[in-house]
Chain A
Protein backbone atom coordinates (compact mmCIF):
# COMPACT_ATOMS: atom_id res chain seq x y z
CA UNK A 1 0.00 0.00 0.00
CA UNK A 2 2.73 2.42 0.98
CA UNK A 3 4.73 1.29 -2.00
CA UNK A 4 1.81 1.92 -4.30
CA UNK A 5 1.30 5.42 -2.90
CA UNK A 6 4.99 6.06 -3.30
CA UNK A 7 4.85 4.83 -6.90
CA UNK A 8 1.87 7.04 -7.65
CA UNK A 9 3.66 10.16 -6.46
CA UNK A 10 6.85 9.28 -8.33
CA UNK A 11 4.83 8.40 -11.41
CA UNK A 12 2.84 11.62 -11.31
CA UNK A 13 6.05 13.62 -11.10
CA UNK A 14 7.49 11.87 -14.11
CA UNK A 15 4.16 11.84 -15.92
CA UNK A 16 3.66 15.58 -15.41
CA UNK A 17 6.75 16.32 -17.48
CA UNK A 18 5.60 13.89 -20.15
CA UNK A 19 2.18 15.55 -20.11
CA UNK A 20 3.66 18.98 -20.81
CA UNK A 21 5.76 17.57 -23.64
CA UNK A 22 2.81 15.67 -25.10
CA UNK A 23 0.55 18.71 -24.87
CA UNK A 24 3.06 20.70 -26.90
CA UNK A 25 3.18 17.95 -29.52
CA UNK A 26 -0.64 17.77 -29.63
CA UNK A 27 -1.15 21.54 -29.96
CA UNK A 28 1.00 21.63 -33.09
CA UNK A 29 -0.49 18.43 -34.46
CA UNK A 30 -3.97 19.88 -33.98
CA UNK A 31 -3.48 22.89 -36.23
CA UNK A 32 -0.99 21.50 -38.73
CA UNK A 33 -1.22 17.69 -38.72
CA UNK A 34 2.47 17.71 -38.01
CA UNK A 35 3.89 15.07 -35.68
CA UNK A 36 6.92 17.04 -34.58
CA UNK A 37 9.94 14.81 -34.16
CA UNK A 38 12.00 17.94 -33.58
CA UNK A 39 10.12 18.71 -30.35
CA UNK A 40 13.02 17.43 -28.23
CA UNK A 41 15.41 19.88 -29.85
CA UNK A 42 13.68 22.65 -27.90
CA UNK A 43 15.08 20.99 -24.80
CA UNK A 44 18.48 20.47 -26.42
CA UNK A 45 18.74 24.19 -27.13
CA UNK A 46 17.56 24.96 -23.60
CA UNK A 47 20.22 22.57 -22.29
CA UNK A 48 23.04 24.44 -23.99
CA UNK A 49 21.63 27.73 -22.76
CA UNK A 50 21.74 26.21 -19.26
CA UNK A 51 25.28 24.92 -19.81
CA UNK A 52 26.65 28.29 -20.88
CA UNK A 53 24.77 30.49 -18.44
CA UNK A 54 25.31 28.25 -15.42
CA UNK A 55 28.94 27.92 -16.49
CA UNK A 56 29.18 31.70 -16.38
CA UNK A 57 28.07 31.51 -12.77
CA UNK A 58 24.43 32.53 -13.19
CA UNK A 59 21.89 31.11 -10.79
CA UNK A 60 19.09 28.70 -11.68
CA UNK A 61 16.57 31.44 -10.89
CA UNK A 62 17.83 33.45 -13.85
CA UNK A 63 18.60 30.44 -16.03
CA UNK A 64 15.08 29.00 -15.69
CA UNK A 65 13.28 31.80 -17.60
CA UNK A 66 16.11 31.84 -20.13
CA UNK A 67 15.59 28.14 -20.87
CA UNK A 68 11.87 28.70 -21.35
CA UNK A 69 12.48 31.74 -23.54
CA UNK A 70 15.02 29.89 -25.67
CA UNK A 71 12.55 27.04 -26.21
CA UNK A 72 9.81 29.46 -27.34
CA UNK A 73 12.14 31.32 -29.70
CA UNK A 74 13.58 28.08 -31.10
CA UNK A 75 10.07 26.76 -31.70
CA UNK A 76 9.10 29.95 -33.56
CA UNK A 77 12.35 29.90 -35.54
CA UNK A 78 11.85 26.29 -36.61
CA UNK A 79 8.35 27.15 -37.79
CA UNK A 80 9.59 30.13 -39.76
CA UNK A 81 12.60 28.45 -41.33
CA UNK A 82 11.25 24.95 -41.96
CA UNK A 83 7.60 24.20 -41.31
CA UNK A 84 6.11 27.34 -42.88
CA UNK A 85 7.49 26.09 -46.21
CA UNK A 86 5.65 22.78 -46.08
CA UNK A 87 2.27 23.99 -44.80
CA UNK A 88 -0.50 22.01 -46.38
CA UNK A 89 1.84 19.29 -47.63
CA UNK A 90 1.09 15.64 -47.00
CA UNK A 91 1.44 14.29 -43.48
CA UNK A 92 4.40 12.27 -44.67
CA UNK A 93 6.24 15.34 -45.98
CA UNK A 94 5.64 17.09 -42.68
CA UNK A 95 6.94 14.08 -40.78
CA UNK A 96 10.11 13.91 -42.88
CA UNK A 97 10.64 17.64 -42.46
CA UNK A 98 10.48 17.30 -38.70
CA UNK A 99 13.02 14.47 -38.83
CA UNK A 100 15.22 16.72 -40.92
CA UNK A 101 14.98 19.55 -38.41
CA UNK A 102 15.79 17.12 -35.63
CA UNK A 103 18.97 15.93 -37.36
CA UNK A 104 20.08 19.38 -38.46
CA UNK A 105 19.85 20.86 -34.95
CA UNK A 106 21.65 17.88 -33.35
CA UNK A 107 24.31 18.13 -36.05
CA UNK A 108 24.85 21.83 -35.41
CA UNK A 109 25.65 21.16 -31.76
CA UNK A 110 27.73 18.14 -32.70
CA UNK A 111 29.83 20.07 -35.21
CA UNK A 112 30.13 23.46 -33.60
CA UNK A 113 29.98 22.69 -29.89
CA UNK A 114 31.00 19.20 -28.86
CA UNK A 115 30.01 15.61 -29.29
CA UNK A 116 30.52 14.79 -25.64
CA UNK A 117 28.16 14.96 -22.71
CA UNK A 118 28.75 18.20 -20.79
CA UNK A 119 27.74 18.36 -17.13
CA UNK A 120 26.39 21.42 -15.33
CA UNK A 121 25.37 22.09 -11.74
CA UNK A 122 21.96 20.98 -10.63
CA UNK A 123 20.02 23.09 -8.15
CA UNK A 124 20.93 21.97 -4.63
CA UNK A 125 17.33 21.10 -3.68
CA UNK A 126 16.75 18.65 -6.52
CA UNK A 127 17.72 15.61 -4.46
CA UNK A 128 16.08 16.77 -1.21
CA UNK A 129 13.21 14.76 0.15
CA UNK A 130 10.71 15.16 2.95
CA UNK A 131 8.53 12.62 4.75
CA UNK A 132 4.78 12.50 5.01
CA UNK A 133 4.02 9.55 7.29
CA UNK A 134 5.70 6.57 5.72
CA UNK A 135 6.12 8.30 2.36
CA UNK A 136 9.34 9.76 1.16
CA UNK A 137 8.53 12.59 -1.18
CA UNK A 138 11.00 14.43 -3.37
CA UNK A 139 10.91 18.20 -3.27
CA UNK A 140 11.55 18.00 -7.02
CA UNK A 141 8.44 15.89 -7.72
CA UNK A 142 6.36 18.25 -5.62
CA UNK A 143 7.57 21.29 -7.54
CA UNK A 144 7.06 19.51 -10.87
CA UNK A 145 3.50 18.52 -10.02
CA UNK A 146 2.53 21.95 -8.69
CA UNK A 147 4.04 23.81 -11.66
CA UNK A 148 2.43 21.39 -14.10
CA UNK A 149 -0.99 21.86 -12.54
CA UNK A 150 -0.58 25.64 -12.72
CA UNK A 151 0.62 25.41 -16.31
CA UNK A 152 -2.34 23.25 -17.29
CA UNK A 153 -4.75 25.67 -15.62
CA UNK A 154 -3.11 28.55 -17.46
CA UNK A 155 -3.25 26.70 -20.76
CA UNK A 156 -6.91 25.81 -20.23
CA UNK A 157 -7.77 29.45 -19.51
CA UNK A 158 -5.87 30.51 -22.60
CA UNK A 159 -7.72 28.01 -24.76
CA UNK A 160 -11.16 28.58 -23.25
CA UNK A 161 -11.23 32.27 -22.46
CA UNK A 162 -9.26 34.10 -25.10
CA UNK A 163 -9.99 34.77 -28.76
CA UNK A 164 -6.60 33.29 -29.57
CA UNK A 165 -7.51 30.06 -27.78
CA UNK A 166 -10.86 29.96 -29.52
CA UNK A 167 -9.19 30.52 -32.88
CA UNK A 168 -6.75 27.70 -32.14
CA UNK A 169 -9.53 25.28 -31.28
CA UNK A 170 -11.58 26.27 -34.30
CA UNK A 171 -8.57 25.93 -36.60
CA UNK A 172 -7.75 22.52 -35.15
CA UNK A 173 -11.30 21.37 -35.83
CA UNK A 174 -11.59 22.77 -39.37
CA UNK A 175 -8.82 24.97 -40.64
CA UNK A 176 -10.48 26.20 -43.84
CA UNK A 177 -13.69 27.17 -42.11
CA UNK A 178 -11.73 28.99 -39.41
CA UNK A 179 -10.02 30.98 -42.15
CA UNK A 180 -13.43 31.76 -43.65
CA UNK A 181 -14.30 33.32 -40.29
CA UNK A 182 -11.23 35.54 -40.60
CA UNK A 183 -8.89 33.53 -38.37
CA UNK A 184 -5.38 34.20 -39.71
CA UNK A 185 -3.46 31.01 -40.38
CA UNK A 186 -0.16 32.68 -39.48
CA UNK A 187 -1.49 33.79 -36.11
CA UNK A 188 -2.83 30.37 -35.25
CA UNK A 189 0.17 28.37 -36.44
CA UNK A 190 2.80 30.66 -34.93
CA UNK A 191 0.75 30.82 -31.75
CA UNK A 192 0.62 27.04 -31.62
CA UNK A 193 4.39 26.82 -32.01
CA UNK A 194 4.93 29.47 -29.35
CA UNK A 195 2.63 27.63 -26.93
CA UNK A 196 4.28 24.33 -27.79
CA UNK A 197 7.69 25.91 -27.13
CA UNK A 198 6.51 27.37 -23.84
CA UNK A 199 5.26 23.99 -22.64
CA UNK A 200 8.46 22.27 -23.82
CA UNK A 201 10.51 24.98 -22.11
CA UNK A 202 8.80 24.40 -18.76
CA UNK A 203 9.17 20.64 -19.12
CA UNK A 204 12.76 21.21 -20.27
CA UNK A 205 13.69 23.13 -17.12
CA UNK A 206 12.69 20.15 -15.00
CA UNK A 207 14.22 17.63 -17.38
CA UNK A 208 17.55 19.46 -17.32
CA UNK A 209 17.52 20.06 -13.56
CA UNK A 210 17.36 16.34 -13.05
CA UNK A 211 19.72 15.36 -15.88
CA UNK A 212 22.46 17.82 -14.91
CA UNK A 213 24.06 17.41 -18.31
CA UNK A 214 23.54 18.08 -22.00
CA UNK A 215 24.65 16.48 -25.25
CA UNK A 216 23.66 16.98 -28.92
CA UNK A 217 21.36 13.97 -28.78
CA UNK A 218 19.77 14.86 -25.43
CA UNK A 219 16.48 15.78 -27.10
CA UNK A 220 15.69 12.30 -28.34
CA UNK A 221 14.39 10.80 -25.10
CA UNK A 222 12.08 13.69 -24.14
CA UNK A 223 10.86 13.83 -27.75
CA UNK A 224 10.02 10.13 -27.73
CA UNK A 225 8.19 10.45 -24.41
CA UNK A 226 6.19 13.43 -25.64
CA UNK A 227 5.29 11.89 -28.98
CA UNK A 228 4.43 8.53 -27.40
CA UNK A 229 2.29 10.13 -24.73
CA UNK A 230 0.47 12.17 -27.37
CA UNK A 231 -0.11 9.01 -29.38
CA UNK A 232 -1.35 7.13 -26.32
CA UNK A 233 -3.79 9.96 -25.64
CA UNK A 234 -5.07 10.01 -29.21
CA UNK A 235 -3.21 12.50 -31.40
CA UNK A 236 -4.81 15.88 -31.62
CA UNK A 237 -6.74 15.61 -28.38
CA UNK A 238 -5.25 18.02 -25.88
CA UNK A 239 -6.91 16.39 -22.89
CA UNK A 240 -5.78 13.02 -24.23
CA UNK A 241 -2.18 14.21 -24.43
CA UNK A 242 -2.18 15.16 -20.76
CA UNK A 243 -3.76 11.85 -19.80
CA UNK A 244 -1.30 10.01 -22.05
CA UNK A 245 1.64 11.69 -20.33
CA UNK A 246 0.42 10.78 -16.86
CA UNK A 247 -0.34 7.21 -17.93
CA UNK A 248 3.11 6.82 -19.45
CA UNK A 249 4.83 8.19 -16.35
CA UNK A 250 2.85 5.99 -14.00
CA UNK A 251 3.36 2.92 -16.16
CA UNK A 252 7.12 3.39 -16.19
CA UNK A 253 7.39 3.86 -12.45
CA UNK A 254 5.04 1.01 -11.59
CA UNK A 255 6.79 -1.39 -13.94
CA UNK A 256 10.24 -0.46 -12.75
CA UNK A 257 9.34 -1.15 -9.13
CA UNK A 258 7.31 -4.30 -9.89
CA UNK A 259 9.50 -6.07 -12.42
CA UNK A 260 12.06 -8.51 -11.02
CA UNK A 261 15.49 -6.91 -10.68
CA UNK A 262 16.96 -8.99 -13.47
CA UNK A 263 14.71 -7.37 -16.10
CA UNK A 264 14.04 -4.00 -14.47
CA UNK A 265 16.42 -2.46 -16.96
CA UNK A 266 14.04 -3.56 -19.68
CA UNK A 267 11.29 -1.25 -18.43
CA UNK A 268 11.46 0.85 -21.58
CA UNK A 269 11.01 -2.25 -23.71
CA UNK A 270 8.06 -3.42 -21.68
CA UNK A 271 6.47 0.02 -21.90
CA UNK A 272 6.83 -0.04 -25.69
CA UNK A 273 5.27 -3.48 -25.73
CA UNK A 274 2.28 -2.23 -23.74
CA UNK A 275 1.95 0.74 -26.08
CA UNK A 276 2.04 -1.61 -29.06
CA UNK A 277 -0.77 -3.60 -27.46
CA UNK A 278 -2.74 -0.41 -26.87
CA UNK A 279 -2.49 0.49 -30.53
CA UNK A 280 -3.56 -2.99 -31.58
CA UNK A 281 -6.68 -2.87 -29.47
CA UNK A 282 -7.36 0.86 -29.56
CA UNK A 283 -5.54 2.35 -32.54
CA UNK A 284 -7.17 5.73 -32.05
CA UNK A 285 -5.52 6.20 -28.64
CA UNK A 286 -7.25 6.63 -25.30
CA UNK A 287 -9.22 9.73 -26.25
CA UNK A 288 -10.88 9.90 -29.64
CA UNK A 289 -10.88 13.02 -31.79
CA UNK A 290 -13.47 13.20 -34.47
CA UNK A 291 -11.54 15.28 -36.94
CA UNK A 292 -8.38 17.23 -37.37
CA UNK A 293 -8.16 18.97 -40.69
CA UNK A 294 -4.90 20.11 -42.15
CA UNK A 295 -4.14 23.59 -43.47
Chain B
Protein backbone atom coordinates (compact mmCIF):
# COMPACT_ATOMS: atom_id res chain seq x y z
CA UNK B 1 0.00 0.00 0.00
CA UNK B 2 1.50 3.29 -0.89
CA UNK B 3 0.81 6.58 0.76
CA UNK B 4 -2.22 8.12 -0.90
CA UNK B 5 -1.89 5.77 -3.84
CA UNK B 6 1.06 7.67 -5.24
CA UNK B 7 2.11 6.65 -8.73
CA UNK B 8 4.86 4.10 -9.04
CA UNK B 9 3.64 1.96 -6.18
CA UNK B 10 4.41 -1.65 -6.99
CA UNK B 11 1.40 -3.80 -7.71
CA UNK B 12 0.74 -6.70 -5.40
CA UNK B 13 2.47 -9.87 -6.44
CA UNK B 14 1.62 -11.81 -9.53
CA UNK B 15 0.23 -14.55 -7.34
CA UNK B 16 -2.49 -12.15 -6.32
CA UNK B 17 -1.88 -11.99 -2.60
CA UNK B 18 -4.09 -8.96 -2.42
CA UNK B 19 -4.30 -7.08 0.82
CA UNK B 20 -7.70 -5.76 1.71
CA UNK B 21 -8.16 -2.08 0.98
CA UNK B 22 -7.36 0.24 3.87
CA UNK B 23 -11.01 0.78 4.65
CA UNK B 24 -11.29 -2.94 5.31
CA UNK B 25 -8.27 -3.40 7.55
CA UNK B 26 -9.14 -3.83 11.19
CA UNK B 27 -8.45 -0.46 12.73
CA UNK B 28 -7.45 0.27 16.29
CA UNK B 29 -9.64 2.24 18.64
CA UNK B 30 -8.20 5.77 18.71
CA UNK B 31 -5.98 6.09 21.74
CA UNK B 32 -4.13 3.68 23.96
CA UNK B 33 -6.28 1.57 26.28
CA UNK B 34 -5.53 0.42 29.82
CA UNK B 35 -5.90 -3.37 29.90
CA UNK B 36 -5.29 -5.92 32.63
CA UNK B 37 -2.80 -8.76 32.48
CA UNK B 38 -4.69 -12.05 32.77
CA UNK B 39 -1.56 -14.11 33.22
CA UNK B 40 1.93 -14.85 32.01
CA UNK B 41 3.04 -18.37 31.07
CA UNK B 42 6.55 -19.71 30.74
CA UNK B 43 7.28 -21.33 27.43
CA UNK B 44 10.91 -22.45 27.44
CA UNK B 45 13.02 -19.34 26.81
CA UNK B 46 9.88 -17.30 26.15
CA UNK B 47 6.88 -15.97 28.04
CA UNK B 48 3.35 -15.77 26.73
CA UNK B 49 1.72 -12.61 28.02
CA UNK B 50 -2.06 -12.96 28.20
CA UNK B 51 -4.02 -9.72 28.37
CA UNK B 52 -7.74 -9.38 29.00
CA UNK B 53 -9.22 -7.41 26.11
CA UNK B 54 -12.89 -8.39 25.88
CA UNK B 55 -13.92 -5.16 24.15
CA UNK B 56 -11.05 -4.76 21.69
CA UNK B 57 -11.37 -5.53 17.99
CA UNK B 58 -10.29 -8.98 16.85
CA UNK B 59 -6.88 -8.55 15.19
CA UNK B 60 -6.09 -9.92 11.75
CA UNK B 61 -3.16 -12.35 11.54
CA UNK B 62 0.03 -10.30 11.25
CA UNK B 63 -1.32 -7.20 12.97
CA UNK B 64 0.44 -5.89 16.07
CA UNK B 65 -0.05 -3.73 19.14
CA UNK B 66 2.13 -1.14 20.85
CA UNK B 67 2.30 -2.17 24.50
CA UNK B 68 3.84 -0.77 27.67
CA UNK B 69 3.56 -1.60 31.36
CA UNK B 70 1.26 0.89 33.08
CA UNK B 71 3.59 1.08 36.08
CA UNK B 72 7.38 1.44 36.16
CA UNK B 73 7.85 1.86 32.43
CA UNK B 74 11.29 3.47 32.65
CA UNK B 75 14.13 3.31 35.09
CA UNK B 76 15.54 0.06 33.73
CA UNK B 77 18.82 -0.43 31.90
CA UNK B 78 20.03 3.00 30.65
CA UNK B 79 16.96 4.58 32.30
CA UNK B 80 14.77 2.97 29.65
CA UNK B 81 12.23 1.95 28.36
CA UNK B 82 10.43 5.13 27.36
CA UNK B 83 8.53 4.20 24.20
CA UNK B 84 5.98 1.39 23.96
CA UNK B 85 7.08 -1.77 22.18
CA UNK B 86 5.58 -3.37 19.09
CA UNK B 87 4.41 -6.99 19.45
CA UNK B 88 2.53 -9.16 16.98
CA UNK B 89 -0.61 -10.83 18.21
CA UNK B 90 0.09 -14.53 18.80
CA UNK B 91 -3.57 -15.23 19.33
CA UNK B 92 -6.75 -13.51 20.30
CA UNK B 93 -9.37 -15.79 21.79
CA UNK B 94 -11.94 -15.83 24.58
CA UNK B 95 -11.44 -12.09 25.10
CA UNK B 96 -7.68 -12.41 25.62
CA UNK B 97 -4.84 -11.12 23.46
CA UNK B 98 -1.61 -13.11 23.63
CA UNK B 99 1.88 -11.80 22.97
CA UNK B 100 5.17 -13.73 22.82
CA UNK B 101 7.97 -12.18 24.88
CA UNK B 102 11.69 -12.76 24.97
CA UNK B 103 13.83 -10.82 27.43
CA UNK B 104 16.24 -9.00 25.10
CA UNK B 105 16.28 -5.46 26.46
CA UNK B 106 14.77 -3.11 29.05
CA UNK B 107 11.32 -3.01 27.40
CA UNK B 108 10.83 -6.74 26.98
CA UNK B 109 12.41 -7.33 30.41
CA UNK B 110 9.83 -5.15 32.12
CA UNK B 111 7.02 -6.85 30.19
CA UNK B 112 8.36 -10.25 31.27
CA UNK B 113 8.02 -9.13 34.91
CA UNK B 114 4.28 -8.45 34.60
CA UNK B 115 1.92 -10.55 36.65
CA UNK B 116 -1.82 -11.21 36.59
CA UNK B 117 -3.72 -8.09 37.61
CA UNK B 118 -1.03 -5.63 36.44
CA UNK B 119 -2.01 -2.84 34.06
CA UNK B 120 -0.88 -2.71 30.45
CA UNK B 121 -1.23 0.16 27.98
CA UNK B 122 -2.10 -1.14 24.53
CA UNK B 123 -2.69 0.55 21.20
CA UNK B 124 -3.92 -1.75 18.49
CA UNK B 125 -4.54 -3.72 16.41
CA UNK B 126 -2.27 -1.84 14.02
CA UNK B 127 -0.76 -2.38 10.61
CA UNK B 128 -1.35 -4.50 7.57
CA UNK B 129 -1.63 -8.20 8.30
CA UNK B 130 -1.22 -11.28 6.10
CA UNK B 131 -3.43 -11.40 3.03
CA UNK B 132 -5.51 -14.54 2.89
CA UNK B 133 -4.66 -17.04 0.14
CA UNK B 134 -6.85 -16.64 -2.92
CA UNK B 135 -7.49 -20.25 -3.73
CA UNK B 136 -5.17 -21.03 -6.61
CA UNK B 137 -4.44 -24.46 -5.29
CA UNK B 138 -1.19 -23.31 -3.74
CA UNK B 139 -0.31 -25.01 -0.50
CA UNK B 140 0.79 -22.78 2.36
CA UNK B 141 4.23 -22.89 3.92
CA UNK B 142 4.75 -21.04 7.19
CA UNK B 143 8.36 -20.22 8.02
CA UNK B 144 9.25 -18.77 11.40
CA UNK B 145 12.43 -17.96 13.27
CA UNK B 146 12.73 -17.36 17.01
CA UNK B 147 10.26 -14.96 18.53
CA UNK B 148 9.11 -14.31 14.94
CA UNK B 149 6.91 -17.39 15.12
CA UNK B 150 4.33 -15.22 16.93
CA UNK B 151 2.18 -14.04 14.00
CA UNK B 152 2.34 -17.47 12.34
CA UNK B 153 0.35 -18.98 15.21
CA UNK B 154 -2.67 -16.74 14.66
CA UNK B 155 -2.24 -17.12 10.89
CA UNK B 156 -2.18 -20.90 11.19
CA UNK B 157 -5.47 -20.79 13.08
CA UNK B 158 -7.19 -19.12 10.14
CA UNK B 159 -5.87 -21.25 7.28
CA UNK B 160 -8.54 -23.60 6.01
CA UNK B 161 -6.18 -25.95 4.19
CA UNK B 162 -3.28 -27.91 5.68
CA UNK B 163 0.00 -26.03 5.79
CA UNK B 164 3.63 -26.99 6.22
CA UNK B 165 5.06 -25.28 9.27
CA UNK B 166 8.84 -24.83 9.46
CA UNK B 167 10.30 -23.25 12.57
CA UNK B 168 13.87 -22.42 13.48
CA UNK B 169 15.32 -21.68 16.90
CA UNK B 170 18.66 -21.12 18.58
CA UNK B 171 18.47 -24.12 20.89
CA UNK B 172 16.16 -26.51 22.76
CA UNK B 173 14.81 -24.00 25.35
CA UNK B 174 13.78 -21.66 22.54
CA UNK B 175 12.42 -24.53 20.44
CA UNK B 176 9.75 -25.06 23.09
CA UNK B 177 8.03 -22.05 21.51
CA UNK B 178 7.06 -24.40 18.68
CA UNK B 179 4.22 -25.71 20.81
CA UNK B 180 2.27 -22.57 19.84
CA UNK B 181 1.80 -24.13 16.40
CA UNK B 182 0.79 -27.70 15.74
CA UNK B 183 2.82 -30.18 13.72
CA UNK B 184 5.85 -28.04 13.00
CA UNK B 185 9.08 -29.31 11.48
CA UNK B 186 11.95 -27.88 13.52
CA UNK B 187 15.49 -26.71 12.99
CA UNK B 188 17.95 -25.46 15.60
CA UNK B 189 21.26 -23.65 15.30
CA UNK B 190 22.90 -26.06 17.75
CA UNK B 191 21.24 -29.20 16.42
CA UNK B 192 19.69 -30.05 19.78
CA UNK B 193 16.21 -30.36 18.25
CA UNK B 194 15.29 -31.26 14.68
CA UNK B 195 17.41 -30.31 11.70
CA UNK B 196 20.88 -28.96 12.58
CA UNK B 197 21.06 -25.68 10.67
CA UNK B 198 18.94 -22.78 9.51
CA UNK B 199 15.22 -23.25 8.99
CA UNK B 200 15.67 -22.02 5.44
CA UNK B 201 17.36 -25.38 4.65
CA UNK B 202 13.98 -26.95 5.34
CA UNK B 203 12.28 -24.40 3.12
CA UNK B 204 14.74 -25.13 0.32
CA UNK B 205 13.77 -28.79 0.47
CA UNK B 206 10.05 -27.97 0.42
CA UNK B 207 10.40 -25.68 -2.58
CA UNK B 208 12.54 -28.22 -4.49
CA UNK B 209 9.82 -30.82 -4.02
CA UNK B 210 7.00 -28.47 -5.02
CA UNK B 211 7.31 -24.73 -5.54
CA UNK B 212 3.58 -24.25 -6.25
CA UNK B 213 3.13 -22.79 -2.81
CA UNK B 214 2.54 -19.55 -0.94
CA UNK B 215 5.07 -18.72 1.76
CA UNK B 216 4.34 -16.74 4.93
CA UNK B 217 7.41 -15.86 6.95
CA UNK B 218 8.45 -13.99 10.05
CA UNK B 219 11.81 -14.00 11.77
CA UNK B 220 15.16 -12.25 11.97
CA UNK B 221 16.21 -10.16 8.95
CA UNK B 222 18.80 -12.63 7.71
CA UNK B 223 16.24 -15.43 7.71
CA UNK B 224 13.70 -13.27 5.91
CA UNK B 225 16.27 -12.28 3.31
CA UNK B 226 17.06 -15.93 2.65
CA UNK B 227 13.33 -16.68 2.34
CA UNK B 228 12.88 -13.75 -0.02
CA UNK B 229 15.76 -14.77 -2.26
CA UNK B 230 14.74 -18.44 -2.30
CA UNK B 231 11.11 -17.69 -3.13
CA UNK B 232 12.11 -15.21 -5.81
CA UNK B 233 14.31 -17.86 -7.43
CA UNK B 234 11.41 -20.34 -7.47
CA UNK B 235 8.79 -17.79 -8.48
CA UNK B 236 6.94 -18.59 -5.27
CA UNK B 237 4.95 -15.71 -3.77
CA UNK B 238 5.94 -14.80 -0.24
CA UNK B 239 4.59 -12.50 2.42
CA UNK B 240 7.12 -11.33 4.97
CA UNK B 241 6.24 -9.95 8.41
CA UNK B 242 8.99 -7.42 9.12
CA UNK B 243 10.31 -6.28 12.45
CA UNK B 244 11.51 -2.73 13.06
CA UNK B 245 12.07 -0.45 16.00
CA UNK B 246 9.08 1.91 16.15
CA UNK B 247 8.27 4.97 18.19
CA UNK B 248 4.54 5.16 17.45
CA UNK B 249 3.18 2.26 15.39
CA UNK B 250 0.70 4.38 13.39
CA UNK B 251 2.75 6.24 10.80
CA UNK B 252 3.46 9.40 12.78
CA UNK B 253 7.17 9.18 13.45
CA UNK B 254 8.55 7.87 10.13
CA UNK B 255 11.13 5.99 12.19
CA UNK B 256 10.54 2.39 11.13
CA UNK B 257 11.21 2.65 7.42
CA UNK B 258 12.78 0.03 5.14
CA UNK B 259 13.91 0.63 1.55
CA UNK B 260 11.31 -0.21 -1.08
CA UNK B 261 12.24 -1.86 -4.35
CA UNK B 262 12.55 0.87 -6.96
CA UNK B 263 13.35 3.61 -4.43
CA UNK B 264 11.86 5.32 -1.45
CA UNK B 265 10.85 3.78 1.83
CA UNK B 266 7.98 1.79 3.30
CA UNK B 267 6.77 2.52 6.81
CA UNK B 268 6.77 -0.92 8.46
CA UNK B 269 4.00 0.11 10.86
CA UNK B 270 1.61 1.39 8.22
CA UNK B 271 2.51 -0.28 4.91
CA UNK B 272 3.45 -3.45 6.82
CA UNK B 273 4.44 -5.15 9.00
CA UNK B 274 3.44 -7.78 6.44
CA UNK B 275 4.71 -6.90 2.99
CA UNK B 276 4.78 -8.76 -0.27
CA UNK B 277 8.36 -9.96 -0.76
CA UNK B 278 8.23 -8.49 -4.27
CA UNK B 279 8.12 -5.01 -2.74
CA UNK B 280 11.64 -5.40 -1.36
CA UNK B 281 14.97 -5.60 -3.11
CA UNK B 282 16.50 -7.03 0.05
CA UNK B 283 15.51 -7.48 3.65
CA UNK B 284 18.06 -5.25 5.30
CA UNK B 285 19.66 -6.01 8.61
CA UNK B 286 20.06 -2.71 10.47
CA UNK B 287 23.09 -4.09 12.24
CA UNK B 288 20.87 -5.22 15.07
CA UNK B 289 18.06 -3.10 16.48
CA UNK B 290 18.25 -1.15 19.69
CA UNK B 291 16.19 -3.34 22.03
- Pair from one complex: no
